Structure 1
Amino acid sequence: MSATTTGYTVTRELDAPVAEVWDAWTLRERFAQWFGAPLPSVELDVRPGGAWRSTLVAPEGNEYPLTGTYPVVEPRRRLVTAMDIPGQDEPALMDMVLEELDGGRRTRLVIRQECRTAEECAEAEQGTLILLGSLTEFLAGER
């Protein structure tokens, strides 16, 4: 982390193989099921420099259009997602690393993100924790 930013790291061990976790993040039909975005709003061009968009629908019904790119794509190992933030010159970068556990039956997922302020970081981390809870439930239902 640089002196002008703050960040967070979240580690989660998931009861699913790396391939299932990767597919949940990169296949639009699966992504829509756990992310809270209606399928018609989800577009994922998962390749270096590819674009993505979705509209997150919060439990209270508010809609949040999201857009960005994929600066780094290392299939089934690492995915860096850049999210466009209104009013900011630079996108927010979320770095996700996947690691096989237990002979490939489980996955360690590590997410890191830098933020401009402690407040932004707290919001981003809370959002990540909510999404990881939803992802965990989705993966459990895949079994």
Structure 2
Amino acid sequence: MSTEQNPAAEGFSYRLTRTLDAPAERVWQAWTTPEQYARWAYAAPGSVEMDVRPGGAWKATMVTPDGGQFPLTGSYLDVAENRRLVVGMDVAGKSAPAAMTLELDAEDGRTRIVLHQSCDTAEERDMAEQGSTMLLDSLGAFLAGGAGS
């Protein structure tokens, strides 16, 4: 995995890259099917709803390692099946959603996944990057069969 951190004109950004031993279609399904997403993305069972189309809404209740729960909502800003997903997350006090971009590139039955996001501060970037790293770790385990896939 490689990580780049760049203070950009629009804020602070990070980029995470992984190559997963699964075809792009399977990675896409894991990220866009509520039942699969809940199994690897630290979401409370039954809490995930997804309308995966540009402008479609999503919601999930995330569960922290200590058992705490917090609801998240947002919308899909861009959808190109099996290739690109831009997820907007509603942020209290902000008019525009925080956008996270997921790009998939199929390579001989494997998938190179690039996840990137820009944030307003270094602290927000560091927290988002930590969360995204945990998600990619869990996704990799799920796709490898280590999370009850």
Instruction: Tell me the TM-score range normalised by the shorter chain.
Output: over 0.9
Q: Name the CA distance, whole Å, in 2 between partners of 1:130 and 1:14.
A: 15
User: Higher helix proportion, which one?
Assistant: 1
| Match for residue 62 of structure 1 among 44, 68, 83 | 68
- Cα RMSD of the aligned pairs, angstroms, is 1.4
Moved more, 4-13 or 124-133: 4-13
Amino acid at match of 1:16: A
Amino acid at match of 1:68: G
Give the equivalent residue in structure 2 for 1:43: 49
CA contact (8 A) 2:56 2:76 kept: yes
CA contact (8 A) 2:20 2:111 kept: yes
Q: TM-score, normalised by structure 1?
A: 0.94
Secondary structure in structure 2 of the residue aligned to 1:29: helix
CA contact (8 A) 1:28 1:39 kept: no
Q: Does 1:100 align with 2:119?
A: no
Give the equivalent residue in structure 2 for 1:79: 85
Report deviation, 1:72. 0.3
| Match for residue 127 of structure 1 among 125, 128, 131 | 131
Give the equivalent residue in structure 1 for 2:141: 137
Secondary structure in structure 1 of the residue aligned to 2:126: helix
* Alignment deviations for residues 15-57 of structure 1 (CA, whole Å, 9 cap, x no partner): 1000110000001110010011123210000011000000000
Moved more, 50-59 or 31-40: 31-40
Q: Does 1:117 align with 2:121?
A: yes
CA contact (8 A) 1:72 1:78 kept: yes
Secondary structure in structure 2 of the residue aligned to 1:60: coil
* Alignment deviations for residues 94-113 of structure 1 (CA, whole Å, 9 cap, x no partner): 011000112xx100000110
Q: Tell me, which stretches of 5 or more residues in structure 1 are unaligned?
A: none
Q: Report how many residues are paired.
A: 141
Q: Does 1:34 align with 2:40?
A: yes
Q: Name the CA distance, whole Å, in 2 between partners of 1:79 and 1:27.
A: 13
Q: TM-score, normalised by structure 2?
A: 0.90
Q: Tell me, which stretches of 5 or more residues in structure 2 are unaligned?
A: 1-6
* Alignment deviations for residues 76-111 of structure 1 (CA, whole Å, 9 cap, x no partner): 000000001122222110011000112xx1000001
Secondary structure in structure 2 of the residue aligned to 1:39: coil
Moved more, 131-140 or 34-43: 34-43
